[in-house]
Amino acid sequence: MDLFTPVALGELRLANRVALAPLTRMRAGASGVPGDLLVEHYAQRAGLGLIVTEGTYPRPASQAFVGQPGIVTDEQQAGWARVADAVHERGGQIVMQVMHGGRVTHPDVNGGRRVEAPSAIAIQGSVHTENGKQPYPVPHALTVAEAHEVRDDFVAAARRAVAAGLDGVEVHGANGYLLHEFLSPAANVRDDQYGGSPENRARFVVEVVTAVAEAVGAGRVGLRISPEHGIQDALEPDRDDVLATYGALLDQLRPLGLAYLSVLHREPAGDLVQELRRRFDGPLMANSGFGTVTTRAEALELVEAAHAEVVAVGRPAIANPDLVERWRHEHPENEPDASTFYAGGARGYTDYPTLSA
């Protein structure tokens, strides 16, 4: 395998094996409607084999960040349709990451709504709101019936994404947000069918992904997980429990034939990720670049050594809209400006130069 050769992920046909990792950028304004900035940003990066959008909220209460886009209203759907059209006009493929923020939010962010989680356990620390930094609140523990409403909103969001012309969806089960909270024994202390054993903690994620796959087709659906990431208090310190929980999750999802599994982990070629890949029995998108920046050499090695079919890349793709061209021919790269990652506006978002600029 080679990083610059085509690959199929279910129904998705990629021109190369470099994907844009889902990256929170907070440029959609108060309305959550993708505007001209988002259209330009994603269109610029259509040369990547697959674009995975920033996490997009499927219900108002699930908004985690000021300026985060949604996929709840007709206006938001129309904005995403403009993004999809622009990416397709440049020959790209794009899927929407659907993300429920869970307890990683505040009423000052989600429009005064209550904060939802598997259990009433607050994150230690503070959240950025339009009224300054606030401590994370104690969330409302979803009832079983309310959890089913959340599942149905994931499905509605996926239907909207596909109706807007996106090529598929990625269900966000990582990074300490709602679905990851169900998986983590530190965030989930329920005593019903969604809590306790590894199988029970995996159950809600299985139900959400299965329902989404049934709605839009499994070949258009990916799942992102981040076992052992330990971020935002979704702690998973016990390797045996991690393997039992994620193994139960993937054993149940394997028969669906999902498009891909995206795993964020510091050791994508290590025993844990490769065992989960085996249990999934489908294409793996590897992403090691949360703590460290993914390099060209690492991406090449992961694919050439058959540790993954696709590599998801964040910061280099922010700073280099034409990253695939640069990596293919070993051209110098622009350096990303971290001060602009969450700053709003065009600076550090649509103004990085390309080789032809």
* Residue with tokens 């590599």, as numbered in its chain: 311
Judged by phi (left if over 0) then psi (alpha if -120 to 50, else beta), residue 32 lies in left
- Going by their DSSP bridges, the two strands 221-225 and 7-9 should be labelled as unpaired
DSSP state of 56: B
DSSP state of 14: E
Structure tokens at 184: 């983590």
Question: CA-CA distance, 21 to 112, in Å (whole number)?
Answer: 30
DSSP state of 37: H
- Going by their DSSP bridges, the two strands 94-98 and 168-173 should be labelled as parallel
Phi and psi angles of residue 249, each rounded to the nearest 5 degrees, phi first: -60, -50
Any catalytic annotation for residue 260? no
Structure tokens at 265: 């982990």
Question: CA-CA distance, 140 to 102, in Å (whole number)?
Answer: 10
Q: What is the dihedral sign for C-alpha 235, 294, 18, 268?
A: negative
Selected catalytic residue, list 177, 194, 349, 352: 177
Structure tokens at 160: 């909207």
Question: CA-CA distance, 262 to 308, in Å (whole number)?
Answer: 10
In the chain, how long is the greatest CA-to-CA distance? 58
> 132: burial class by Cβ within 10 Å (0-12, 13-18, 19+)?
exposed
Residues designated catalytic: 177
